[in-house]
Chains A and B, each alone.
Chain A
Amino acid sequence: QVQLVQSGAELKKPGASVKVTCKASGYIFSKYYMHWLRQAPGQGPEWMGVIDPSGGGTTSARKFLGRLTMTRDTSTSTVFMDLSGLRSEDTAVYYCATYSSGPANFDHWGQGTLVTVSS
């Protein structure tokens, strides 16, 4: 079965960067795009961007351009999300998610990684 396992919680200071990892298993890694989403406390999910694990191409939501970097390691079926220039508004649970029922229908989610930005 599809499993997405994310790295642990992070506490960062304003202006710092954070890197979250997502290790996939149970399916052919290169077959399905991997998305990153986040959810601030009390808010709905927010789509951040997507990476093609096969070729490495990425697309980011406009609000994250210049701050969001997504990469992958096909040898370990792992994707990485780097967010720089952190501010308090970036405090959220970050998720990786992929699909099987159709592109961008998020069937499968990681467990989430809490990133707290505080001085």
Chain B
Amino acid sequence: EIVLTQSPATLSLSPGERATLSCRASQSVSSYLAWYQQKPGQAPRLLIYDASNRATGVPPRFSGSGSGTDFTLTISGLEPEDFAVYYCQHRSDWPYTFGQGTKLEIK
């Protein structure tokens, strides 16, 4: 199975700053990578699919890039509601797997 490794585990930033989150796959997933945001007590929310496409209703400050094994989620100009846990997930082959998450916390 494909292992997704996210870094850093925790990211401490202030509102208005830029966040850069990384996800590395143990083998190529082409562009079949998604990013999710999760807040306590809620289901994950799809932000980015197929590496760089924003899901419906996602603000343009969220952007994704990468292909193959290395991917990045960038949040330009952090808003207070952006502080949450972020997961990457591939759909290259069964079983679909998720990374262990990056917690974005307020500095």
Interface positions of B from 81 to 107, Cβ below 8 Å from A: 87, 89, 91, 94-101
Binds A, one of B48-56, B59-67, B71-79: B48-56
Q: A19 → chain B, closest Cβ, in Å?
A: 20
Choice from B49, B91, B94, B98 contacting A45 with Cβ under 8 Å: B98
- Does A85 reach chain B (CB closer than 8 Å)? no
Given contacts A45-B44, A45-B87, contact A105 B34 (CB under 8 A): yes
What is the size, in residues, of chain B's interface with A at 8 Å between Cβ atoms? Answer: 21
Interface positions of B from 16 to 71, Cβ below 8 Å from A: 34, 36, 43-44, 46, 49-50, 53, 55-56
Choice from B34, B43, B56, B98 contacting A109 with Cβ under 8 Å: B43
User: Contact size class for A?
Assistant: 20 to 34
Choice from A43, A47, A95, A105 contacting B49 with Cβ under 8 Å: A105
Nearest neighbor of A109 in chain B, beta-carbon distance: B43
The DSSP consensus for interface residues of chain A is loop
Given contacts A44-B101, A45-B87, A47-B96, contact A110 B34 (CB under 8 A): no
Given contacts A44-B99, A44-B100, A47-B96, contact A103 B91 (CB under 8 A): yes
Q: When chains A and B are docked, how far (Å) is the Cα of A36 from the Cα of B37?
A: 18
Q: Is the CB of A104 within 8 A of B56?
A: no
Q: Is the CB of A102 within 8 A of B44?
A: no
Q: Is the CB of A62 within 8 A of B99?
A: no
Interface residues of A (CB under 8 A from B): 43-47, 59, 61-62, 95, 97, 100-107, 109-112
Interface residues of B (CB under 8 A from A): 34, 36, 43-44, 46, 49-50, 53, 55-56, 87, 89, 91, 94-101
